Homo-oligomer: A and B are copies of this chain.
Amino acid sequence: MASIKDVAAEAGVSVATVSRVLNGHPSVSEDARRRVTAAVTALGYRPNAVARSLRTDQTRTLGLVISDVLNPYFTELARSVEEEARALGYSVIIGNADERPDLQDHHVRTLLDRRIDGLLVSPTDGGSPGMLDAARAGTPMVFVDRWIPGVDVPVVRADGRSAVRDLVAHLHALGHRRLAIIAGPAATTTGRERVDAFREALAAFGLELPDAYIGQGDFQAESGRRVTEGFLDLPEPPEVVFAADNLMVLGALDAVRARGLRVPDDIALAAFDDIRWFVHTDPPITAIAQPTDELGRAAVRALIDRVEGRTGESVTLPARLVVRRSCGADPASGQNPTAVQRSTS
């Protein structure tokens, strides 16, 4: 592969001059610029980003460590992150933690070894050692979706509180009183917050959230299945199961189906995180939708602010309820008296 030396030789100038035209430095004669450009195309020369990074101490690359690539929520997030980063002149390298702290650590370490300029993380657990090190070492960093309390890093996330209130109002209006939740890992903020928001919303309606109605999931489908089976085995099973993410509701559907029960007649279902397929499941699933795209973009902007020496700010965007049929409502019938946004599809 041609190097800058080859280009210099071909153009009859020094490598310094080649470098200058490559980087758009103003003080280069028109003649030199022309010859270098010609040499570059003649040789099909592409600057070696590795060498450039070593010299300039910047890679123009962001690292993104997500909890699970197989979860459509994170996949959408990754896409918007990459788009915004590209628009701002950065590349992004994605690491998939698969909800495993050790894998998360592996990726953080690898990314840091590659000297990425900044790190975007949706932490899998309460903070793996490598992650904490990175934060302490002052690596420009921002958390997306999930965060780690006590670590001084901006957080870009959705606030589901009001949407969860809308959901509970919706369920209450439909006559449901026994509401259960499949929680995410207690070590994650989203795992805890969604339970808290749910409990608070229930309290506003004078309802309790008994321990038996809090199932411990791990954001994976299998845990949703297992927890739901537990609920169905209860002497008094819940009337509604609210899954804290879209994969666990998949598992819940599996479990309900395996028992030969019907949604919403026998049991109602709802989920945090909306995905396109929810329109076509049987029945269509009521969900809380995050502004995923904007979250990804805001996170990138905050991170690049930090990277370039500005102060990146935390951002919180509201999530919203999308009512479909899985809780018993017919969105078109106007049965539901509370003011919630309805699905248009």
Interface residues of A (CB under 8 A from B): 1, 44, 46-51, 53-54, 59, 69-70, 72, 75-76, 78-79, 82, 86, 91, 93-94, 96, 98, 106, 109-110, 112-115, 133, 137, 221, 250, 253-254, 257, 276-277, 279-283, 345
Residue from the list B53, B113, B254 in contact with A345, Cβ < 8 A: B254
Between A and B, 24 residue pairs with Cβ closer than 8 Å are A44-B137, A46-B109, A47-B113, A49-B110, A49-B113, A49-B115, A50-B54, A50-B59, A69-B78, A70-B72, A70-B75, A70-B79, A72-B72, A79-B96, A79-B98, A82-B96, A86-B106, A91-B110, A93-B93, A221-B276, A250-B280, A254-B280, A277-B277, A282-B282
**Cβ contacts under 8 Å, A106 to chain B:** 86
A contacts with B: majority SS: helix
Residue from the list B46, B53, B69, B277 in contact with A112, Cβ < 8 A: B46
Task: Name the distance in Å between A17's Cβ and chain B's nearest Cβ.
Answer: 21
When all copies of this chain in the complex are counted, the total is: 2
Q: Quick one: closest B residue to A136, CB to CB?
A: B44
What are the nearest 8 A-B pairs in CB distance? A282-B282, A49-B113, A277-B277, A280-B281, A49-B114, A253-B280, A50-B53, A50-B54
CA distance A69 to B113 in the complex (A): 26
CA distance A148 to B44 in the complex (A): 22
Task: Name the distance in Å between A339's Cβ and chain B's nearest Cβ.
Answer: 26
CA distance A106 to B89 in the complex (A): 12
**Cβ contacts under 8 Å, A51 to chain B:** 54
Residue from the list B1, B76, B280 in contact with A282, Cβ < 8 A: B280
**Cβ contacts under 8 Å, A75 to chain B:** 69-70, 75
Residue from the list B46, B114, B221 in contact with A50, Cβ < 8 A: B114
